[in-house]
Protein backbone atom coordinates (compact mmCIF):
# COMPACT_ATOMS: atom_id res chain seq x y z
CA UNK A 1 0.00 0.00 0.00
CA UNK A 2 1.47 3.35 -1.04
CA UNK A 3 1.81 5.84 1.80
CA UNK A 4 0.26 9.17 0.89
CA UNK A 5 2.51 12.19 0.61
CA UNK A 6 1.81 15.89 1.10
CA UNK A 7 4.78 17.82 -0.30
CA UNK A 8 5.25 21.57 -0.13
CA UNK A 9 7.49 23.51 -2.53
CA UNK A 10 8.32 26.93 -1.09
CA UNK A 11 10.17 27.93 -4.26
CA UNK A 12 12.08 31.24 -3.81
CA UNK A 13 10.11 32.19 -0.72
CA UNK A 14 10.92 32.12 2.97
CA UNK A 15 13.33 33.78 5.39
CA UNK A 16 14.23 32.79 8.92
CA UNK A 17 10.87 33.71 10.47
CA UNK A 18 9.14 31.23 8.12
CA UNK A 19 10.58 28.39 10.21
CA UNK A 20 7.78 29.08 12.68
CA UNK A 21 5.40 27.62 10.08
CA UNK A 22 7.33 24.35 10.19
CA UNK A 23 7.13 24.25 13.95
CA UNK A 24 3.37 24.73 13.73
CA UNK A 25 3.06 21.90 11.21
CA UNK A 26 5.13 19.62 13.43
CA UNK A 27 2.91 20.29 16.42
CA UNK A 28 -0.34 20.04 14.44
CA UNK A 29 0.51 16.76 12.69
CA UNK A 30 2.45 14.83 15.33
CA UNK A 31 0.87 11.53 14.30
CA UNK A 32 -0.03 12.12 10.68
CA UNK A 33 -1.42 9.24 8.62
CA UNK A 34 0.55 10.51 5.62
CA UNK A 35 4.10 11.64 4.99
CA UNK A 36 4.78 15.38 4.99
CA UNK A 37 7.64 16.93 3.05
CA UNK A 38 8.61 20.62 2.94
CA UNK A 39 11.14 21.87 0.39
CA UNK A 40 12.32 25.33 1.50
CA UNK A 41 14.97 27.47 -0.21
CA UNK A 42 18.51 26.17 0.25
CA UNK A 43 19.35 28.93 2.74
CA UNK A 44 16.89 27.37 5.20
CA UNK A 45 17.67 23.68 4.74
CA UNK A 46 19.86 23.15 7.78
CA UNK A 47 17.72 25.27 10.07
CA UNK A 48 14.53 23.67 8.77
CA UNK A 49 15.93 20.22 9.42
CA UNK A 50 16.79 21.20 12.97
CA UNK A 51 13.36 22.78 13.47
CA UNK A 52 11.40 19.66 12.53
CA UNK A 53 13.92 17.18 13.95
CA UNK A 54 12.99 14.54 11.39
CA UNK A 55 9.39 13.80 12.38
CA UNK A 56 6.69 14.08 11.32
CA UNK A 57 7.84 16.63 8.72
CA UNK A 58 10.71 15.77 6.37
CA UNK A 59 12.82 18.37 4.57
CA UNK A 60 13.81 18.37 0.90
CA UNK A 61 15.72 20.43 -1.63
CA UNK A 62 14.34 22.09 -4.73
CA UNK A 63 17.10 21.05 -7.14
CA UNK A 64 20.57 19.52 -7.26
CA UNK A 65 23.46 19.28 -9.68
CA UNK A 66 24.17 16.01 -11.45
CA UNK A 67 27.80 16.05 -10.27
CA UNK A 68 28.89 15.47 -6.69
CA UNK A 69 31.40 18.37 -6.79
CA UNK A 70 33.30 20.60 -9.16
CA UNK A 71 33.47 24.01 -10.80
CA UNK A 72 29.75 24.73 -10.81
CA UNK A 73 29.33 28.15 -9.24
CA UNK A 74 26.01 28.62 -7.52
CA UNK A 75 24.99 24.95 -7.71
CA UNK A 76 24.48 22.43 -4.93
CA UNK A 77 25.15 18.71 -5.12
CA UNK A 78 22.80 16.06 -3.82
CA UNK A 79 25.40 15.18 -1.20
CA UNK A 80 25.36 18.76 0.05
CA UNK A 81 21.58 18.68 0.35
CA UNK A 82 21.80 15.41 2.25
CA UNK A 83 24.40 16.83 4.64
CA UNK A 84 22.16 19.84 5.24
CA UNK A 85 19.36 17.53 6.38
CA UNK A 86 17.38 16.88 3.21
CA UNK A 87 15.86 13.46 2.57
CA UNK A 88 14.37 14.28 -0.84
CA UNK A 89 14.78 16.69 -3.74
CA UNK A 90 12.41 18.08 -6.36
CA UNK A 91 13.76 17.58 -9.89
CA UNK A 92 12.55 18.64 -13.32
CA UNK A 93 10.02 21.18 -12.09
CA UNK A 94 8.54 23.10 -15.02
CA UNK A 95 10.07 26.32 -13.69
CA UNK A 96 13.51 24.71 -13.86
CA UNK A 97 12.79 23.30 -17.30
CA UNK A 98 11.60 26.69 -18.57
CA UNK A 99 13.89 29.12 -16.73
CA UNK A 100 17.06 27.04 -16.93
CA UNK A 101 16.48 25.01 -20.08
CA UNK A 102 16.64 21.68 -18.29
CA UNK A 103 16.11 18.73 -20.62
CA UNK A 104 14.75 15.31 -19.76
CA UNK A 105 18.33 14.02 -20.00
CA UNK A 106 19.47 16.59 -17.44
CA UNK A 107 16.65 15.64 -15.09
CA UNK A 108 17.54 11.95 -15.42
CA UNK A 109 21.18 12.67 -14.56
CA UNK A 110 20.13 14.66 -11.50
CA UNK A 111 17.80 11.87 -10.47
CA UNK A 112 20.66 9.39 -10.57
CA UNK A 113 22.75 11.74 -8.45
CA UNK A 114 19.93 12.03 -5.93
CA UNK A 115 19.63 8.25 -5.66
CA UNK A 116 23.37 7.85 -5.21
CA UNK A 117 23.25 10.29 -2.30
CA UNK A 118 20.32 8.55 -0.67
CA UNK A 119 17.75 11.19 -1.56
CA UNK A 120 14.23 10.50 -2.81
CA UNK A 121 13.78 12.07 -6.25
CA UNK A 122 10.48 13.86 -6.79
CA UNK A 123 10.44 13.94 -10.59
CA UNK A 124 8.07 16.50 -12.10
CA UNK A 125 6.17 16.22 -15.39
CA UNK A 126 3.60 18.40 -17.07
CA UNK A 127 2.28 19.97 -20.23
CA UNK A 128 1.82 23.61 -21.26
CA UNK A 129 -1.57 25.08 -22.13
CA UNK A 130 -0.69 24.95 -25.82
CA UNK A 131 0.17 21.26 -25.54
CA UNK A 132 -3.04 20.57 -23.63
CA UNK A 133 -5.18 22.35 -26.19
CA UNK A 134 -3.47 20.53 -29.07
CA UNK A 135 -4.33 17.17 -27.51
CA UNK A 136 -0.68 16.31 -26.85
CA UNK A 137 -0.85 15.94 -23.06
CA UNK A 138 -0.32 12.18 -22.83
CA UNK A 139 2.40 12.22 -25.46
CA UNK A 140 4.26 14.99 -23.62
CA UNK A 141 4.05 13.51 -20.13
CA UNK A 142 4.77 10.04 -21.48
CA UNK A 143 7.95 11.27 -23.14
CA UNK A 144 8.99 13.15 -20.00
CA UNK A 145 8.37 10.10 -17.83
CA UNK A 146 10.34 7.78 -20.09
CA UNK A 147 13.32 10.11 -20.48
CA UNK A 148 13.44 11.79 -17.04
CA UNK A 149 13.01 8.72 -14.83
CA UNK A 150 16.02 6.39 -15.14
CA UNK A 151 16.02 2.62 -14.96
CA UNK A 152 16.16 1.54 -11.33
CA UNK A 153 13.25 3.67 -10.18
CA UNK A 154 11.07 2.24 -7.43
CA UNK A 155 8.79 3.35 -4.62
CA UNK A 156 11.69 3.84 -2.23
CA UNK A 157 13.83 6.17 -4.33
CA UNK A 158 11.28 7.94 -6.53
CA UNK A 159 8.05 9.91 -6.56
CA UNK A 160 6.44 11.21 -9.75
CA UNK A 161 4.59 14.54 -9.67
CA UNK A 162 2.22 15.57 -12.44
CA UNK A 163 1.98 19.35 -12.61
CA UNK A 164 0.20 20.80 -15.63
CA UNK A 165 2.25 23.92 -16.32
CA UNK A 166 -0.84 25.98 -17.11
CA UNK A 167 -2.32 25.26 -13.67
CA UNK A 168 0.70 26.16 -11.52
CA UNK A 169 -0.05 29.32 -9.56
CA UNK A 170 -2.83 30.35 -11.92
CA UNK A 171 -5.85 29.18 -9.96
CA UNK A 172 -6.83 27.05 -12.95
CA UNK A 173 -7.32 23.37 -12.20
CA UNK A 174 -7.90 20.53 -14.67
CA UNK A 175 -11.15 18.65 -14.32
CA UNK A 176 -11.08 15.57 -12.15
CA UNK A 177 -11.48 13.51 -15.32
CA UNK A 178 -8.40 15.14 -16.83
CA UNK A 179 -6.35 14.52 -13.68
CA UNK A 180 -7.48 10.89 -13.55
CA UNK A 181 -6.68 10.40 -17.24
CA UNK A 182 -3.06 11.49 -16.77
CA UNK A 183 -2.50 9.67 -13.47
CA UNK A 184 -3.99 6.44 -14.81
CA UNK A 185 -1.85 6.80 -17.93
CA UNK A 186 1.29 7.30 -15.84
CA UNK A 187 0.51 4.22 -13.75
CA UNK A 188 0.04 2.18 -16.93
CA UNK A 189 3.31 3.46 -18.37
CA UNK A 190 5.16 2.63 -15.15
CA UNK A 191 3.65 -0.85 -15.16
CA UNK A 192 4.68 -1.47 -18.76
CA UNK A 193 8.24 -0.43 -18.01
CA UNK A 194 8.93 -1.66 -14.47
CA UNK A 195 6.30 -4.34 -13.86
CA UNK A 196 3.23 -4.20 -11.67
CA UNK A 197 4.91 -4.59 -8.29
CA UNK A 198 7.36 -1.71 -8.72
CA UNK A 199 4.82 0.48 -10.55
CA UNK A 200 2.32 0.06 -7.74
CA UNK A 201 4.94 1.20 -5.22
CA UNK A 202 5.70 4.54 -6.91
CA UNK A 203 3.59 7.41 -5.63
CA UNK A 204 1.96 9.78 -8.10
CA UNK A 205 1.39 13.32 -6.83
CA UNK A 206 -0.79 15.99 -8.38
CA UNK A 207 0.33 19.62 -8.35
CA UNK A 208 -1.24 22.74 -9.75
CA UNK A 209 -3.29 25.19 -7.67
CA UNK A 210 -4.12 22.64 -4.95
CA UNK A 211 -5.99 24.44 -2.17
CA UNK A 212 -7.96 23.49 0.95
CA UNK A 213 -11.17 23.96 -1.04
CA UNK A 214 -10.37 21.47 -3.81
CA UNK A 215 -7.98 19.06 -2.09
CA UNK A 216 -10.52 16.45 -0.98
CA UNK A 217 -11.99 15.87 -4.43
CA UNK A 218 -8.54 15.75 -6.03
CA UNK A 219 -7.34 13.18 -3.49
CA UNK A 220 -10.40 11.05 -4.21
CA UNK A 221 -9.32 10.82 -7.85
CA UNK A 222 -7.91 7.59 -9.27
CA UNK A 223 -4.16 7.06 -8.75
CA UNK A 224 -3.60 10.36 -6.91
CA UNK A 225 -1.38 9.54 -3.93
CA UNK A 226 -0.91 13.07 -2.67
CA UNK A 227 0.05 16.53 -3.82
CA UNK A 228 3.00 18.78 -4.58
CA UNK A 229 1.78 22.14 -3.34
CA UNK A 230 3.28 25.55 -4.04
CA UNK A 231 1.85 28.74 -2.57
CA UNK A 232 -0.58 27.02 -0.22
CA UNK A 233 2.32 25.29 1.56
CA UNK A 234 3.90 28.53 2.75
CA UNK A 235 1.50 28.93 5.67
CA UNK A 236 0.61 26.14 8.07
CA UNK A 237 -2.94 27.47 8.22
CA UNK A 238 -3.31 26.81 4.48
CA UNK A 239 -1.29 23.60 4.24
CA UNK A 240 -2.77 21.82 7.28
CA UNK A 241 -6.28 21.50 5.77
CA UNK A 242 -4.71 19.98 2.64
CA UNK A 243 -2.83 17.48 4.79
CA UNK A 244 -6.01 16.69 6.70
CA UNK A 245 -7.88 16.12 3.42
CA UNK A 246 -5.16 13.70 2.33
CA UNK A 247 -5.29 11.88 5.66
CA UNK A 248 -9.04 11.44 5.26
CA UNK A 249 -8.88 10.24 1.65
Residues with pLDDT less than 70, the chain: 54
Q: What is the pLDDT of residue 4?
A: 97
Q: Are 114 and 147 spatial neighbours (Cβ–Cβ below 8 Å)?
A: no
Q: What is the pLDDT of residue 173?
A: 79
The set of long-range contacts for 127-132, using a CB threshold of 8 Å and a minimum separation of 24, is 127/164, 127/165, 127/166, 128/165, 128/166, 129/165, 129/166, 132/164, 132/166
Q: What is the pLDDT of residue 171?
A: 80
Quick: pLDDT tens for 118-169: 999 999 999 999 999 999 999 999 999 999 999 999 999 999 999 999 988 7
Q: What are the boundaries of each domain within the chain?
A: 5-248
Q: Which fold has domain 5-248?
A: TIM Barrel (3.20.20)
- pTM of the shown model: 0.96
Query: Which residue numbers are catalytic?
Result: 93, 163
d(CA 108, CA 147): 7
Amino acid sequence: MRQKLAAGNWKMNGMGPALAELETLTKTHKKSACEILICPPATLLSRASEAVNGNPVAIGGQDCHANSSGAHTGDLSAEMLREAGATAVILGHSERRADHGESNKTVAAKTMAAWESGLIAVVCLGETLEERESGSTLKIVGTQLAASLPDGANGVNSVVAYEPVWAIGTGKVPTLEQIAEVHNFLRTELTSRFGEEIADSIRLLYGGSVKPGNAAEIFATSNVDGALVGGASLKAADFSPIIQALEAS
